[in-house]
Amino acid sequence: MKRLLICAAAFSLAATAASAALPTGAKAPDFKTTAALAGKDHPFDLAATRKKGPVVLYFFPAAFTAGCTAEAHEFAEATPDFNKLGATVIGMTGAARVNGQMAMGDAAAIEGIKRFSSEECRDKFAVALASPDTIKGYDVANATNPAMTSRTSYVIAPDGKILMSYTDGNFAQHVSKSMEAVQAWKASAKK
């Protein structure tokens, strides 16, 4: 019963949308952070990464919650297809569930993100803790807890313009909408 209540609370938290998100066509704020891939941390620089191709930047409420884990699995499955189109995937969150407790912006949360990158992202793409500045810059503060993020996905072009912005508490269409935007970018880049 306790586990069911925790899952219900996590779903409720994940379903809370942000008040707004950056619109298509806006300039994406560049940032540098420490990300985790395959359980190991490394520097991540959005400006440098997008020079290689579009970036699929998806924000999720908290690592190791039901919806966020399912979304990570879907992005992990799709990452090779994104990579074939020249896109890089990175997930960001303001929190991680560690030992049954929510951790935000501290060493425990960082260790949780490292585990999440390996266990749930299946070593396919990087994840990072979103700083308060990044959460504010991308306008993805969770309405219930502003230290956490809403479920919002962006596709950012190499020139820094947002090609797609999608906010929905349900993870179900984030991967497909992101893929459609990357495919459209690829098709227009060939012309």
Domains of the chain: 2-190 (3.40.30.10)
Q: Which amino acid, one-letter code, is at 44?
A: F
Task: Give me 13's structure tokens.
Answer: 């938290």
- Determine whether 98 is exposed, middle or buried from the number of CB atoms within 10 Å of its CB (0-12, 13-18, 19+): buried
Per residue in 15-42, pLDDT tens? 333 345 899 999 999 999 999 999 999 9
Residue of 108 and 80 predicted with greater confidence: 80
Task: Give me 53's structure tokens.
Answer: 């191709």
Please compute the mean of the pLDDT values over residues 53-61 and round it to a whole number: 97
Cβ 33 vs Cβ 134: under 8 Å: yes
DSSP at 171: G
Rounded CA-CA distance 180/51 in Å is 20
Name residues whose C-beta falls within 8 Å of residue 39's C-beta, 6 or more positions apart in sequence. Answer: 114, 115, 117, 118, 123
How many Cα atoms sit within 13 Å of 14 on the Cβ side?
24
Three-state SS annotation for 88-130: EEEEEECCEEECCEEECCCHHHHHHHHHHHHHCCCCCCEEEEC
- Partners of residue 59 on adjacent β-strands: 92, 152
Of the ranges 10-24, 132-146, 149-163, the best mean pLDDT one: 149-163
Per residue in 84-122, pLDDT tens? 999 999 999 988 888 777 788 778 888 899 999 999 999
Please compute the mean of the pLDDT values over residues 40-54 and round it to a whole number: 96
Helices within the chain (DSSP H only)? 2-15, 46-50, 66-84, 107-119, 132-137, 174-190
Q: What is the pLDDT of residue 189?
A: 85
Mean residue pLDDT across the chain:
88
pLDDT category, 8, cuts 50, 70, 90?
Answer: very low
Task: Give me 181's structure tokens.
Answer: 């935007």
Does the pLDDT of residue 14 top 60, yes or no? no
Tell me how crowded residue 122 is: count the other CB atoms within 10 A of its CB: 15
